[in-house]
Structure 1
Amino acid sequence: MEQMYACGNCGAPVAYGQTSCSVCGVPIDWGTTQSPPSSQYDYQQQAWEQQPSSTNPQQEYTQQAESYQQPQYSQTTEQPNPGRQRISLHTIRKSLKKIPLNIALPLIVIFILLTLGGIMVATIANEEGQPSQNSKPTIASTAAQPVITTFTSNPASIISEQTSELAWEVTGATSVSIDQGVGSVDLSGKKTVAPTTTTTYTLTAVNDKGSVTSATTITINAMGAPTISKFTITPNVIDAGQPAVLQWDITGATSMSIDQNIGNIASSGTQTVYPSTSTTYKLTATNSAGSSNASAAITVNASSVPVISSFTAGPSAISAGESSTLQWNVTGASSVSIDQGVGTVAASGTQLVSPTTTTTYTLTATNSVGSATASATVALTAPTPPVIISFTANPSVITTGQSTTFQWNITGATSLSIDNDIGIVSDTRIPIITPSETKTYTITATNSAGSIQASTTITVNAAGAPTISSFTASPSVITSGSSNLQWDVTGATSVSINQNIGTVSTSETRVVTPTETTIYTITATNSFGQSTASVTITKADITAGYPVISSFIANPGTISAGGSSQLSWQIQGDVTSLSIDQGIGTPPAYGAAVTVFPTQKTTYTLTATNSVGSNSYSATVNVQ
Structure 2
Amino acid sequence: MKQCPKCNTENPKQAKFCRHCRYEFPEATISGGSLSPIVHLCKVREDKYWIGSIIHIDWQIDNANTVTINGFDVTSLDEYEIKVDKAMTVTVKAENDYDQISKDLRLSPKPLPSILSFVPSTYQVQAGNEIKLRWDVRNAIRITLSSSKVTKDVSNKNYIKISLDRDEQLNLTAYAEDDNIYVDKTIDIRVLAPVVIHGFYADKDVVVESDKVTLRWNIENADSIMIEPIMKDVTRLSSFQVSPARTTEYRLVASNMISRAEASLSVGVRTLPKIDINLGETFAKMELPPCNVDLSFLSDSIKEADVDVWMTTAPSKTIEKNIWKEKISRKWKEIASIFGRPKH
With the shorter chain as reference, the TM-score category is 0.3 to 0.5
Name whichever structure is richer in strand by fraction: 1
> What's the TM-score once normalised by structure 2's chain length?
0.38
Structure of greater relative contact order (alpha carbons < 8 Å, 6+ residues apart): 2
> What's the TM-score once normalised by structure 1's chain length?
0.24
Name whichever structure is richer in helix by fraction: 2
